[in-house]
Amino acid sequence: MRRGAADDRGRTDPVERSPEAARGLRERIAELRAQIERLDYAYYVLDTPEVPDAEYDRLLRELQQLEERHPELRATDSPTQRVAGAVRPDLQPAAHEVPMLSLANALNDEEAESFDARVCAALGIKEATYCCELKFDGLAVSLSYRGGAFERAATRGDGFVGEDVTDNVRTIRSVPLHLHGSVPAQLEIRGEVLMFRRDFERLNATQRTVGGKEFANPRNAAAGSLRQLDSKITAQRRLRFFAYGVAALAPPASGAKAAHLPVTQSGLLDWLQGLGLPVCEHRGLVKGMGGLRDFYERMAQRRDALPYEIDGVVFKVDDFGQQQRIGSLARAPRWAVARKFPPREALTTLLDIDVQVGRTGALTPVARLTPVEVGGVVVSSATLHNEDEIRRKDIRIGDTVVVRRAGDVIPEVVAVLPEHRPRHARQFVFPVRCPVCGSAVVRAADEAVARCSGGLVCPAQRKQALLHFASRRALDIDGLGDKIVDQLVDTGLVTHPAGLFGLELPVLADLDRMGEKSAANLLGALERARSTSLERFIFALGIRHVGETTARDLARHFGRFEAFAAADEAQLLQVPDIGPVVAHSIRQFLEEPRNRTEIAALLRKIRIAPSASAQRPQTLTGTTFVLTGTLPTLTREQATARIEAAGGHVSSAVSRKTEYVVAGSDPGSKLDKARELGVKVIDEGGLLAMLGEEGAH
């Protein structure tokens, strides 16, 4: 169930009105009725919501309050006098013997307290007992069983006549076709069809792949899936069902054992579960307003962890006899209320669009909004994800937009209301230059995210660039961690990688938690980093798509940095495993003027040894080695580098394709595997001999 009535408090204001005021009042009521009916049709018939639930509830409540104050203007066909919904003309109608009512809403503690007070007053008691359940964000349905066998399923529709969806419901695997145990001869179950979040995401991913229409939310996906003309489509959509009530009970079939029928809502849920029907585990039996408030708060905290969407909780007087004494209104029972959570979605105006640059250079458009409360928090900005999303949703500056916020997730603009678009609304032009550093903005053909190409110099990427530059696989500057980089950047001491090599002892020692000894150690690490290998230097630059392996392949192929920097895309494509995307990314990075300036500054500070492959004969080309145990003088990284520099390959596992296993002390199972397969085993001395380095360390 989803949208419901406002609460049932009524009052009249017998105030005389001028003809102009009376006419304005009638026009506003007519406008609200027409607008709500249009929204009902879009929501319930077309399964395409046009506004957030909170906006719909606001309109419905305004209409109800106007009609309560001016009952002479109330009409029997007003949306306030019936359950919202309609039967699609292409589906068979199905009448409900017992109307399927909606629920009144309580939007805050005060309205929940008023509900509790009215219940206690109607029953003449001080404290009522309630059954508390979840308010699912799905589609209400009625299931009929005859003699325990599934017979018919219908949607709620307008509360009196729904749509026959029997064949489609048969495909929902959580709906039993036969009930367990002794059951009434005829039983009508009320419950909710819904779609779990992961199935909703999978469905929309499929829709995008085939170019189909994406669904706005799981509720509309469930409704659209259940109301298909072809049940095969429904069967593919992974719908679920939860039972939460009954409409009618008939005596057991002749000769059958009498069914023990429950007399409370909590007992009913247990009974339904015993029949084999799925019943939500999150329910509770509480007393008074304190119990209602506690259940609400507990479920609000668990909301985002649930596998399905809920938009509130439902409070029901537990005892059926008490429910009958309290009674019902035309469209909602007086003995139950839906305590709504703060709306996840709201309408507001998009004032402008900024572009933020992340630590990795990704450009994210951010909507600046007229502040609005969403999910209990005032939101003034929201992500627009990327340029394609702005185009797909046709978002323009000045639009009225739907903003969604769920838990700790960053608020996002999910849709616009084109019918509210002002004449001055304008399209957003995505920048071609980084708004932070002015470097060119680049975007790969197969990616949705645009990025700043000034990775070495962009202030937005500065900390990330320095940390990567100093990482163990890059220049390996021991002691240059997150906290030190934060201080260096935040104080303006270092603005780019080359600036690291100009740091002095007094400045470093003055940093928080450093001291002279730590500062001296860091300066020593920086001095050692002044001499590095070509592959480490290439990797340290942070070129997109260039990881350790690619950097090694590039170093091995070009031998010297000058040759690498001068290579065009065609020459880069000659490197093994380098494709067009990587080649293009390298050239974009090296051709950015700001990066070239920074690289020139680094080359004045750092000595780059030519790749060993440029000097060493490729005597091990095509030979596969496996290293195991601890070697006497070489680390595993050093041994791997020397083998690869000579053209060899180092594998992590022994197989029949392995030519040599280099074994040190404590070799482990790899040595056993080598002997089993007959692979030749050598020690460090044997490896050095193959490398032509006998006696070298």
CA dist 153 and 577 (Å) reads 58
Query: Concatenated DSSP letters for 485-537?
Result: HHHHHHTTS-SSGGGGGG--HHHHHTSTTTHHHHHHHHHHHHHHHTEEEHHHH
Tell me whether strands 345-357 and 400-404 are parallel, antiparallel or unpaired: antiparallel
Q: Is the dihedral of CA 412, 417, 421, 426 positive or negative?
A: positive
**Given the DSSP bridges, would you call strands 450-452 and 362-374 parallel, antiparallel or unpaired?**
antiparallel
Phi/psi of residue 307, nearest 5 degrees: -80, -5
Q: Which among 192, 134, 103 is positioned nearest to 310, based on CA atoms?
A: 134
Q: Can you say how many angstroms the Cα of residue 563 is from the centroid of all Cα atoms in its chain?
A: 45
Compute the distance between CA of residue 230 and CA of residue 611 in angstroms, rounded to an integer: 65
**Residue 463 appears among annotated catalytic residues:** no
How far is it, in rounded angstroms, from Cα 213 to Cα 264? 43
Tell me whether residue 578 is exposed, middle or buried, using C-beta atoms within 10 angstroms of its C-beta: 0 to 12, 13 to 18, 19 or more. Answer: buried
Q: Count CB-CB contacts under 10 A for residue 330.
A: 14
Measure the CA–CA gap between 459 and 361, rounded to whole angstroms: 10
Give CA separation, 461 vs 360, 474, 582, in Å. Answer: 6, 17, 20
**AA identity, residue 65:** Q
Q: What angle do CA 309, 312, 318 make, to 5 degrees?
A: 120
Q: Which residues of 44-75 are buried (b: 16+ CB within 10 A; e: fewer)?
A: bbebebbbbbbbbbbbbbebbebbbebeeeee
Given the residues 135, 316, 340, 670, select the one marked as catalytic: 135
**CA of residue 422 relative to chain centroid, distance:** 31
CA-based R_g, the chain, Å: 35
C-alpha 492/C-alpha 477 separation (Å) is 20
The residue to which tokens 């089993």 are assigned: 676
3-state SS, 409-467, equals CCCEEEEECHHHCCCCCEECCCCCECCCCCCEEECCCCCCCEEECCCCCCHHHHHHHHH
Contact 230/206 with Cβ under 8 angstroms?
no
Q: Parallel, antiparallel, or unpaired for β 161-163 and 93-95? A: antiparallel
Length of the chain: 697
Q: How far apart are CA 57 and CA 40, in angstroms?
A: 12
**Cβ contacts of 436-441, under 8 Å, gap ≥ 24:** 436/357, 436/460, 437/594, 438/594, 439/592, 439/594, 439/595, 440/588, 440/592, 441/363
By the 10 Å C-beta count (0-12 exposed, 13-18 middle, 19+ buried), 501 is classed as middle
Distance between CA atoms of 292 and 284, rounded to whole angstroms? 9
Q: Which residues are catalytic?
A: 135
